[in-house]
Amino acid sequence: MSTERPDNDVTGPRRRRPPLAVASVAAAVLLAGGGGAYWASTAAGDGGAADSGAAAEKSAPLLALDASADSPGGTSPDSRTSPDSPPPGIAPGEPDPGGPPVIYRAAGELPDGPDEAAVHHARGTVASADVAGLAKALGIPGTPRTEGTSWVVGDDDGPGALLKVTKQAPGTWTFARTTPPKPCESGTMCTNGTSEPGGDPVSEKAAKAAAVPVLKAAGQDDAALNAGQLMGDVRVVNADPRIDGLPTYGWATGVQVGPDGKVTGGSGHLKALEKGDTYPAVGADEALKQLNAASRGKGDADRDIGGCATPVPLEGEPKPSDPQCVPSNGKRAPVEQTVEGAVFGLALNYVDGRQTLVPSWLFTVRQAPGGPENTVTQVAVDPKFIEKPDAPTPSGDRKVTSYGADGRTLEVTFWGGVCSTYTASAKESAGQVRITVTEKPQEGKKACIMIAKELTRTVTLEKPLGDRTVIDAASGGAVPRA
């Protein structure tokens, strides 16, 4: 999905502009079509902060960026496709991890950016009055009611309209409207359906006009709008807010408008963002270097990639007619992509288990001449202020498969053997609860049957779990709620 791009002007104090740096090493992950992939590199960055940057260095704590267990750099969702949580595996737009690496090369001089910028996050809970305001803008009658951890307005049984908003920040909301089917005439066969297909999409202007009341109720009436996306006869208005004058990526609200001009669906975040700690920032040149270095594994820094830009086929693939070059290490040669622009902004990431907008460079990337533009984001915080994530615990510890929570009590489920004893412990922080399940073989057992069974252990937390993320220490990944 293409999005409207702001110009390349950036806000804040300016650095002396360095010469253009052209990256030349294997690289990272693309974003295309509404999915998100964000690299959080910890490579060395450029120094030289102004007085304001020095103040940020003294006051800002280390930024605990979370890395996904499924990819080296971690992924974050774009709210256009999945406003709740990042799905496992490859995010939309990412290249196949088994395919060739990517090198990003700048087509021209890149901007410097500000010396510092603040993170932004949502805290607390969503008020019933805010949910009622959004429901009114969507045309849903009724009073917000509680269902589990969400506010609900509307009919969740059968055709109608339904709004759900999670109570905990960031107040993720989803809305869907269905049209009752027409009565079936006697003697005819009818199909079960909730809406009538057909019709022409409304114009972009009409779609934006229909979305404005909803966006105002969601606190995004000043967001940049793009109504170019079509889903059949439904036009989608994507709204990307500006925070502290900076463009954002990954915090969009999507509003779907049907051919009759009415809002038929949508999703976004209802809780307002708050300004957090301020961090020294790196320029676009340095961020591009970090982006290109992010996928190099430990010990791979000096590998010879041979300078090839054409993929070398793997075993079993057809041989191309054009001459190929093979890197000296025998790996697939990198594919080159062009960076045509860079804007300093805020991109969605996970910090200590919570969704956070982090100062980032938003690179406009074109895969091939004349091809579509994509956006690749790279965290712009000086790497000295990024905390390295905890390494997974030794493989002897058990992987937690699910959990249940009731106040300070956390029940964790895992698979174990019948001839061992297991204990569970928790390491708590502001946004996470990290669970370790340790196995100890029973003494005196010379022989043991190889039977695995599902086991549960209880952990008492220092304070209620709340909206904190439960992390499995054995894998480093998030644990699903049972």
| Residue 323: count of CB within 10 angstroms of its CB | 6
Q: Which residue has the higher pLDDT, 98 or 171?
A: 171
The closest of 193, 172, 176 to 263, measured between CA atoms, is 176
The closest of 181, 257, 158 to 212, measured between CA atoms, is 257
Mean pLDDT (the chain) is: 74
Directed axis angle between helix 128-138 and helix 204-217, to 10°? 160
Q: Encode pLDDT of 175-226 as tens digits.
A: 998 755 455 555 544 444 344 555 799 999 999 999 999 999 999 988 999 9
CB 477 within 8 A of CB 85: no
**Pairwise CA distance, residues 353 & 169, whole Å:** 12
Q: Encode pLDDT of 137-180 as tens digits.
A: 999 999 999 998 899 999 865 568 999 999 988 999 999 987 55
Token look-up 């930024």 returns 63
CB 457 within 8 A of CB 48: no
Name the E strands within 44-182: 102-106, 116-121, 145-147, 150-154, 161-166, 172-177
Show the CA angle centred on residue 244, arms to residues 242 and 247, nearest 5°.
Answer: 30
Q: pLDDT-based confidence at 12, cuts 50/70/90?
A: very low
Alpha-carbon distances, residue 43 vs 104, 291, 310, 404 (angstroms): 16, 9, 27, 38
CB 43 within 8 A of CB 290: yes
User: For position 273, what pLDDT does the model report?
Assistant: 94
Is residue 135 helix, strand or coil?
helix
Q: Which residue has the higher pLDDT, 429 or 83?
A: 429
122-136, 262-276, 425-439: least confident range: 425-439
Structure tokens at 167: 């109570």
58-67, 91-100, 146-155, 411-420: least confident range: 91-100
Average pLDDT over residues 263-288: 95
Whole-structure pTM value? 0.64
φ/ψ (deg, to 5) at 103? -110, 130
**Pairwise CA distance, residues 97 & 332, whole Å:** 11
User: For position 256, what pLDDT does the model report?
Assistant: 96
